[in-house]
Chains A and B, each alone.
Chain A
Amino acid sequence: MVRVDGSGQSGSLIQVRGLGKVYRRAGETIHVLQNLNLDVDKGEFVAFMGPSGSGKTTLLNLLGGLDVPSNGSITVAGDEITHMSGSKLTEWRARHVGFIFQMYNLIPVLTAFQNVELPLLLTKLSKAERRKHVETALGVVGLADRMNHYPRQLSGGQEQRVAIARAIVADPTFLLCDEPTGDLDRKSANEIMDLILRLVKEYGKTVLMVTHDPVVARLADITLHLEKGVLVESTQRAEVVAGGVA
């Protein structure tokens, strides 16, 4: 159950308490996030919406350990990440977070197989084990027959599917998606969202997604709205699902 009032139980997979992020620019203090609370259980799919500059991506960066909060705490699977050192946080990200970016961010000089293999290079898996994992991940996203293709030889939708395979290949604790369909046409966007929904339903993945697209957001279990750094509203999927995505 997703909660934003700070009343969630300590067993939540992700627990955010009193989170704040302040930037100081040219003598001006900008409160990007203020006293934010959030509880997300395992297997939940949460969408964050809000206008530009509302702090969606900042929240995602904080949850993914890419940035450090000005105050408050983030606990993931029992690990308090807010006070981890840079190198510890890097190790933590490798184990716990799968990132899916709007622009796919694949390495253009590596094949789909090599791109997906990247997170596994940080593990102790043998070459054969890595191959098995990569083939499985590419199979899940339906690109087993494209593993030797370079990103430039793939469509935008296929590139994003490779990026999803890269995000899931090391079986992270949760996935962070920053506008995963933002650069895709509607058909490709639907395919990507179908895939993300499959990851949630079939594989029990926990997904936190930032989007501008209300159609995409409706597919999440819950949509949280960020306005001026505050979570102001939540919409349960059951209430809006009638419209569907297609």
Chain B
Amino acid sequence: MKFRSLIFANLFRKKMRLVLTIGSFAVALFLFAFLAVVKGAFNRGADIAGADRLIIINRISIINPLPLSYRDQILRIPGVKAVTHNNWFGGVYQEEKNFFPQFAIDPENQRKVLPELVVPEDQWQTFLKDREGCIAGARTAARFGWKIGDRIPIKSIGYGSTGTWEFNLDGIYHTDKVGGDENQFWFQWDRFEEGVPQSFKGNVGWYVLKLDNPDDAVRIAKTIDNMFANSSYETKTETESAFAAGWVKQFGNIQFLILTIGAVVFFTLLLVTGNTMAISVRERFGELAVLKAIGFSDRLVLFFVLGESLIIALVGGLLGLGLAMLAVPALGNALAGLLPSLVLSPQILSMGLVTAILVGVAGGILPGVGAMRMQVVSALRRV
């Protein structure tokens, strides 16, 4: 491209300004990627939720239990294929900061309802036979360097002074779903039932149902809630995706917050770029007039200004997204257990790049049009 040297020479005219503008883009795109990743992490539960699954919790709140006796009644409802139940354990490994979700599961039905969480068959069989066994998600196992056969002490926080519970790591589960949850830690519900104080016994935290047909979800949910209406333990049944969305809402309107921050960042970036390009064009009004005088067309002048703006946007954007690619895995590890997996997807990267390009064009268009419309004679008079 024969105009390359002209565009690049102008770009490097004020190196400090160039570095600062590119830096603004890099920071903004890094923030964009990070916000998009966090938003994706919060929404992922809803995104990957099974359409054929329902969650039943206590109508008051998820921390209130449901009787185990509900299980058989639920199973008898036409259209319910399988039922499993979980209890939240809420322990920590070694230190308070080593938090991750631990669930007491129903081994008999877990895999029928949640088949996407895959445990190798031999490991699963070992787990079934081992009362003190546990299964860890691949991410949690990697986080703490656990290997099959390790003895893992978990200090209980949620269940009074029951102290430290020790488990044998019998298996590690994986999921094929991108961004799927590999942070969980499972152990047998029977072990939980034995270990918790009397007041907790005979209860489960929530039920998860698998349906024959997703189209029956509304009908079955209503049936269940009606079935236990006016009891001591009323239920609230909803689809897994609605449950996941409701879970996210507990943190506030994350989506609105992220969109607002993102919009402010990009509007500011637009002003920064527009201002930089406007100053840059104003500083060399005379030079652009000379170019027009010697035969450079208005379109070429616009092309030069937009070209500079776009290069700044692209370099800054790529730098910011590159930084995000380096930082997101590290942040993901630091926040493991607190947030779902942070995934910087190709879609986020493409969206970031497209946004950078759009801001680059938008920031350069006004100064570019100004330069394009400039009257050569008046501009030369100012030189």
Question: Contact residues of A with B, CB < 8 Å?
Answer: 61, 64, 66-67, 86-87, 90-91, 93-95, 97, 99, 101, 103, 105, 107-110, 114, 118-119, 121-122, 127, 166
Contact = CB atoms under 8 A, between A and B. Distances in A.
A196 B292 CA distance: 23
B295 A127 contact: no
Contact of B9 (A61, A67, A107, A119): A107
B308 to A, nearest CB: 12
A94 B295 contact: yes
10 contacts: A61-B377, A90-B292, A99-B294, A101-B290, A105-B287, A105-B290, A105-B383, A110-B6, A110-B9, A118-B296
Contacts of B5: 110, 114
A226 to B, nearest CB: 17
A91 B297 CA distance: 8
B295 A114 contact: no
Contacts of B9: 107, 109-110, 114
B2 A127 contact: yes
B3 A121 contact: yes
Interface string B350-383: 0000000000000000000000000011001001
B3 A64 contact: no
Instruction: Name the 7 nearest CB pairs between A and B, nearest first.
Output: A94-B295, A109-B9, A105-B290, A93-B295, A67-B377, A66-B376, A90-B297
B257 interface: no
B294 A87 contact: no
Interface residues of B, number: 23
**Majority secondary structure of chain A interface residues (helix, strand, loop or mixed):** helix
Given A66-B293, A93-B295, A119-B294, 12 more contacts: A67-B377, A91-B297, A94-B294, A105-B287, A107-B9, A109-B13, A110-B5, A114-B6, A118-B6, A118-B294, A121-B2, A121-B3
A122 B295 CA distance: 8
Given A87-B297, A166-B294, A121 B6 contact: yes
A90 B298 contact: yes
Nearest to B297: A90
Contact of A101 (B296, B377, B380): B380
A101 B289 CA distance: 12
Contact of B293 (A86, A93, A114, A121): A93
A61 to B, nearest CB: 5
B315 interface: no
A162 to B, nearest CB: 13
Nearest to B295: A94
A122 B13 contact: no
A204 to B, nearest CB: 21
Contact of B291 (A66, A101, A109, A118): A118
Nearest to B8: A109
A95 B291 CA distance: 14
B380 to A, nearest CB: 7
Contacts of B12: 109
B296 A103 contact: no
A87 B291 CA distance: 14
B286 interface: yes
A99 B294 CA distance: 7
A59 B296 CA distance: 22
A103 B66 CA distance: 88
Contacts of B2: 121, 127
Contacts of A87: 297-298
Contacts of B296: 90, 94, 118, 122
Given A66-B293, A66-B377, A114-B6, A107 B298 contact: no
A176 to B, nearest CB: 10
Given A101-B383, A105-B290, A107-B287, A119 B6 contact: no
A33 B297 CA distance: 28
Contacts of A127: 2
Looking at B5, B290, B294, B377, the one whose CB has the most chain A CB atoms below 10 A away is B294
A131 to B, nearest CB: 12
Contact of A93 (B286, B294, B377): B294
A105 B284 CA distance: 11
A122 B292 CA distance: 11
Given A110-B5, A114-B9, A103 B383 contact: yes
B10 interface: yes
A134 to B, nearest CB: 13
Contacts of B13: 108-109
Given A101-B380, A114-B6, A86 B298 contact: yes
Contacts of A118: 6, 291, 294, 296
Contact of A109 (B3, B10, B297, B380): B10
Contacts of A105: 286-287, 290, 380, 383
Nearest to A92: B295
B293 A119 contact: no
B292 to A, nearest CB: 7
Contacts of A121: 2-3, 6
Given A66-B376, A67-B377, A105-B286, A119 B10 contact: no
Contacts of B293: 64, 66, 93, 99
Nearest to A87: B297
